[in-house]
Amino acid sequence: MRIGIIGTGVAGSLLAESLLGTPGVTVAAFERAQIGEQAEAGTGLNLGPNAAKALRLHLPERHAALRAASLDWRRWQVALTDGTPLLDLDLLELAEEPGLRIRWSELYRLLRAPVAGCTQHGHALEAIEEDAVGRLVPVFRVRHALLRYGGFDLLVGADGRYSQTRALTAGEPEASLLGVCVWRLLVTAAEDCPFDDYTQWFQGNARLLAFRVPGGAVYIAGTFPLGADGEMPEAARSRDFQRALFTPEGAEPCPAVAWMLAAIERQFEEIHWARSATIPLLRSAAAGRVLLLGDAAQAMVPTLGQGATQAVEDGVIAGAVLAAGGNVAAARDARVNFVRQFSEEASDTLHPGTDPVAGTRAKDGPAFRAKLRRLYTDVPAPSPRPIEE
């Protein structure tokens, strides 16, 4: 079986590594970025405990490499911007191991290294054709030339939220907007930062989220509700607007929020702005000859930190399933649907008209904790491969 992987982000790299050396399978991977280029290299992310478990069970060497390059994600704390505490969850009460806090650039470096030998860089997908026997032939633009590779028995689209593979084989997906702006910033000079682990701070339905990542940096994300039209007013992209958004009424911001507001002021031009959106889950296209993984299949809201985390699960579990000749949709889709729905439920405090205090405190109750435990631990171990004669 000849498998071509489009995109060597999280899911694509892990799938390729999982399949290398599998009898009867050859793998070729194609990446739009040139060697050394790292998409989103200026930000950080948190991977949930379920991503760590998936790596430990399926790719223990990758698990060890990421652990060595990360900080543990152990606590989930929530407060108001004046410092009033609302929630303090110890993830080890619900999970088998901590999550991970890492920089995107380091994550990509560690995931791409094992598959460098089978990866073609600087390849931007432009079209997908068929050969005489119905196998797929991807067409790439490489500098000023078009190159064809094929034919592949299976083409894997792991090329992110704006997947060209999905668009070419199933059409552009219709996005559903959450009605929330999400911005991101990495503060690199953060030695005096007064906090460490994953924490959120609410001012009404506006929220700051931040945590330290390796290298003495701090990752900050801000969210705030948009108007009924879902558009972001230009006035929102200003220092004054953002400072007012996260400043408590009639009180001073707590030390952590005051530190972030000062950092935002200094590095405002480096903020990356986006609107939170989801796309419908789609696992396959082209009569089963295309498999979609990660954000290409299931872009979801980021509230529980499950976007990259589910891409980790997708990559390693799809690798195990394909190596055993199984069905990836059967192995993954019910799990992904649960994670998508739970992530949207957990986003309740971001919407105008909801009570972020009551909503946050409810997350310390047994129902929410039970779902978190399921989220963090319900990861299948590899099935034994058949013994070859």
Burial of residue 388 (CB within 10 Å: 0-12, 13-18, 19+) is exposed
pTM of the full predicted structure?
A: 0.95
pLDDT reported for residue 387: 36
Report, as an integer, the average pLDDT of 5-20. 97
Lookup: tokens for 255 = 């030390």
Nearest 5°: phi and psi at 270? -90, -5
The pairing of beta strand 199-203 with beta strand 75-80 = parallel
**Distance separating alpha carbons of residues 6 and 138, to the nearest angstrom:** 9
C-beta neighbour count of 187 within 10 angstroms: 23
CA dihedral 239, 243, 245, 247 (to 10 degrees): 180
Say if CB 221 and CB 257 are below 8 A apart.
no
| pLDDT tens string 170-228 | 999 999 988 999 999 999 989 999 999 999 999 999 999 999 999 999 999 999 999 87
Report CA Rg, the chain: 21
| pLDDT tens string 55-97 | 999 999 999 999 999 999 999 999 999 999 999 999 999 999 9
- Tell me the domains of the chain and their CATH numbers: 2-175+277-377 (3.50.50.60)
Residue 129's region, left for phi above 0, alpha for psi from -120 to 50, else beta, is: beta
- What percentage of the chain has pLDDT greater than the value 90? 90
- Higher pLDDT: 41 or 266? It is 266
Say if CB 358 and CB 214 are below 8 A apart.
no
**pLDDT of residue 353 exceeding 80:** yes
